[in-house]
Amino acid sequence: MGPQFTAALQLASELHAAQFRKGTRTPYIAHLLAVAALVIEAGGDEEAAIAALLHDAVEDQGGQPTLDLIRDRFGPRVASIVAGCTDADTVPKPPWRARKEAYIAQIPHKSADELLVSVADKVHNARAILADYKVIGEPLWGRFTGGREGTLWYYRALADAFRGRAPKALSSALDQAVAEMELAAGAG
């Protein structure tokens, strides 16, 4: 990783400085670093890793102007990957279920780069949900707009949609994390 990766890390740190993981005091940058690590470990190149660091920037930190900034600083490929990982770039966001259904419907049309970063994001999220569920139990679901049923539905639908499309190691990791989440929650 070179100076562009370092610049992306700096930008991600600045954009998400005041943000924490849902229901925790864990700085959001921890998630972005974990997703970037998964992308790199799966063979992603520097631009894919940069997109992993910035994958939530448009959705959470400024919409289209942020995407334009990413394109200007890191090029069209990074911007395209980030855009492909964004389920909403407007405030207020569209209704939760409709956004999630639209995101799932787009998975078959995503590029290989978008699939790589997107599935890495979902793997880390599912693992974090599972780990927190093991500590917190049922109150965990209150963190999520979809609640228990919606969150379990969404992650199962994601795992099914990524299977056979995304890199096998990551899609298998997502499927495993979701199955464990369903089992722990008594839904599997």
Annotated catalytic residue, options 45, 46, 47, 60:
60
| CATH assignment at residue 114 | 1.10.3210.10
- 175 is annotated as an active-site residue: no
Quote the pLDDT of residue 133.
Answer: 94
Q: What is the pLDDT of residues 1-55, one digit of tens each?
A: 899 999 999 999 998 888 788 877 889 899 999 999 999 999 999 999 999 999 9
Catalytic residue selected from 56, 59, 113, 114: 59
SS (H, E, C) the chain: CCHHHHHHHHHHHHHCCCCECCCCCCECHHHHHHHHHHHHHCCCCHHHHHHHHHCCHHHHCCCHHHHHHHHHHHCHHHHHHHHHCCCCCCCCCCCHHHHHHHHHHHHHHCCHHHHHHHHHHHHHHHHHHHHHHHHHCHHHHHHCCCHHHHHHHHHHHHHHHHCCCCCHHHHHHHHHHHHHHHHHCCCC
Report the number of distinct structural domains present in the chain: 1
Domain region containing 158 = 3-184
96-140: per-residue pLDDT in tens? 999 999 999 999 999 999 999 999 999 999 999 999 999 999 999
